[in-house]
Amino acid sequence: MNEANSESAATAAAVSQLDQIKEHTVVVADTGDFGTMKAYAPRDATTNPSLIFSAVQMDDYEYLLEKAIADNERSGLQGEALIDRIIDHLLVDFGGEILKIVPGRVSTEVDARLSFDIEGSVAKAREIIALYETRGITRDRILIKVAATWEGARAAEVLEREGIHCNLTLLFSLPQAIACAEAGVTLISPFVGRILDWYKASTGQDYVGVDDPGVRSVHSIYNYYKKFGYQTEVMGASFRNTGEILELVGCDLLTISPGLLSELSETNDPVMRKLDPESARSASIEKISMDEKRFRWLLNEDAMATEKLAEGIRKFSADIEKLEDLIEKEMLSD
């Protein structure tokens, strides 16, 4: 090997796995921590009630909670209405700070307790977008997160027609993905790691690589979308290890936690693209017709998806309630 080739090989070998992944997939930071976003330069960022609840208890972000309370205490509202307004402002304040760091979009979540309420979800999404717009942030930089229930897909369908882009979250199955794509949503977030968790607990087995059921689920959804020309983006989420991420290189987007971003940035092993739209278009896949009855039946027949969707909604709802309690305590201590 001549000197020029040696230098080229050395340069290639020095490229981190994270940077190699970015050549094929948009990397999104799954965190509410601004420092992580600055360190790993993702295009987009996602938040959820759990991440926001954790972040506001840290010294670095306590000021955002104090600001949201101070901005709304004299609004004339009281009780639940006031706390609800403070939470909306807090979510949007976080999102606004995040958008100073990332060049793309931030996902902001509708209250999970509205997961089966079409009108309530639509109204809350409009309120969130209006708050962003009062801060000079245009709706093309926001993704409204809604749970991938039948009602969530219907709410997103309404919002997308208004130019409010949606991220359908807590997605564990192909029927959910099809319902979202047919509603014309911008993006879905299949939860890879939570699928793995369920199968490990159910079977007592471990799974790695392409045998990981969460990885298989995203492969199935990605190939279905590309085969039938859906424009909805697929963003793999909720990873348990870097092996899952590496099996999904080529996916439209991957949202990755700080710990796994760090691992990928510190490793220079070669990365191979695993998902490709051209291969998907030539795959032998049967198209599935989806209506409400079919959706509910197929979801019912999938114990994993049914259980993890319900569990996810309960967990996000619980974290919203914790955030409400924290706000009440902060207001009483003033």
| pLDDT tens track for 50-72 | 888 888 888 889 999 999 999 99
User: What integer pLDDT is reported at residue 299 of this predicted model?
Assistant: 98
For residue 143, give the nearest of 219, 223, 43 by alpha carbon.
43
The domain over range 24-333 is classified in CATH as 3.20.20.70: yes
User: What integer pLDDT is reported at residue 1 of this predicted model?
Assistant: 45
Measured CA to CA, the distance from residue 73 to residue 173 in angstroms comes to 42
Average pLDDT of the residues in 272-292: 96
Question: In angstroms, what CA-CA distances link 145 with 112, 121, 124, 268, 282?
Answer: 9, 10, 11, 34, 32
Q: Reply yes or no on whether 287 is catalytic.
A: no
Residue in the structure block whose two tokens are 């706390």: 83
Q: Considering 145, 226, 227, 308, which one is annotated as catalytic?
A: 145
Q: What is the pLDDT of residues 312-329, one digit of tens each?
A: 999 999 999 999 999 999
The pTM for the full model equals 0.92
Is residue 160 a contact partner of residue 122, using CB atoms and an 8 Å limit? Answer: no
Residue 149 three-state SS: coil
Answer whether residue 279 shows pLDDT above 60: yes
User: What integer pLDDT is reported at residue 6 of this predicted model?
Assistant: 44
For residue 108, give the nearest of 119, 121, 120 by alpha carbon.
121
Is residue 29 a contact partner of residue 102, using CB atoms and an 8 Å limit? Answer: yes
Percent of the chain with pLDDT over 90: 85
Answer whether residue 263 shows pLDDT above 60: yes
Answer whether residue 8 shows pLDDT above 60: no
